[in-house]
Amino acid sequence: MPVLTDSTRAAHAAGLLLTILTAILVFRGAAAASPDLSRRVRVPDFENAVTVVDSGHGWTYSFEYPAAVPGLEFIWDSVYSDMDERRVSFADEAGSVLPEGPLEQWESWIMEGGMSLLPSPDGMATAMCEYWVFTGGAHGMNNTILYRYALTGGPGSQDWAEIDSRDLLADSAELVRFSAIVCDTLKVRLGPDPDREWILRGAGPYWENYSMLYPVPDSSGALAGFTVRFAEYAVGPYCFGQQEIFVPLALLRP
């Protein structure tokens, strides 16, 4: 039966210490290569309204979600996925830009907003995310994301497909008519001496100018027309803010 002498005890202890140190180094290496799990926020179930909050040195994040509508939970999942990516990117950028130590209040970064489900014509669903980001400077910036869906598969179907502005307007010719109505409206609204070139650049008949187009219902649930939203600076100076214009279906398709 082997017996541990002083020399074998020392050798055994040294070997044990080497094993422990190796395990620590391997763990640290794996942790460095893995995502920062502390940065993840638990995914809400959205059964009730919820506000997701996060913060770090010099930055705060807050985003409000209403209670999910049965059958449309997939929209909440998409919104949460997109906004969580923005949360992580915002936190990473703040961590790399903001200096260490105490900060002045105006140096703090803020990202806050919320989701809403908009009234939609029968067979359609539209959600909007609006959030405001301040990272210093003269003012923050408003941002909007649209989620538009339509039922497919005929009566009784619960198969939803994501759609875009090309699916809402009939064709490029209708886009030209829509753009003309919008530009004329903006020239009056942003008068008395609007920057016509700026308006045409941001609201001219190009699909990329109308990515924020969504359907609007009438009181019976039928399609009443379309609303388009333009971000700050899209059709005029920042002081004009975001612009939103509703075009009745009767005017677009007389």
86-126 pLDDT, tens digit per residue, is 999 999 999 999 999 988 888 899 999 999 999 999 999 99
E-strand ranges in the chain read: 50-56, 59-65, 109-118, 124-134, 141-152, 159-162, 213-217, 223-230, 243-248
CATH fit for domain 166-254, picks 3.30.70, 3.50.30, 3.90.640, 3.30.1330: 3.90.640
Neighbours of 158 (CB within 10 A): 8
Tens-digit pLDDT profile for residues 153-187: 877 778 999 999 999 999 999 999 999 999 999 99
Q: What is the pTM of this model?
A: 0.80
How many residues in total does the chain contain?
254
Radius of gyration of the chain from its Cα atoms, rounded to whole angstroms: 27
Average pLDDT of the chain is: 86
22-29: average pLDDT = 38
The second-level CATH assignment, the architecture, of 38-163 is 2-Layer Sandwich (3.30)
Buried b (16+ CB within 10 A) or exposed e, 159-168: ebeebebeeb
pLDDT at position 195 over 60: yes
Note the pLDDT of residue 193.
83
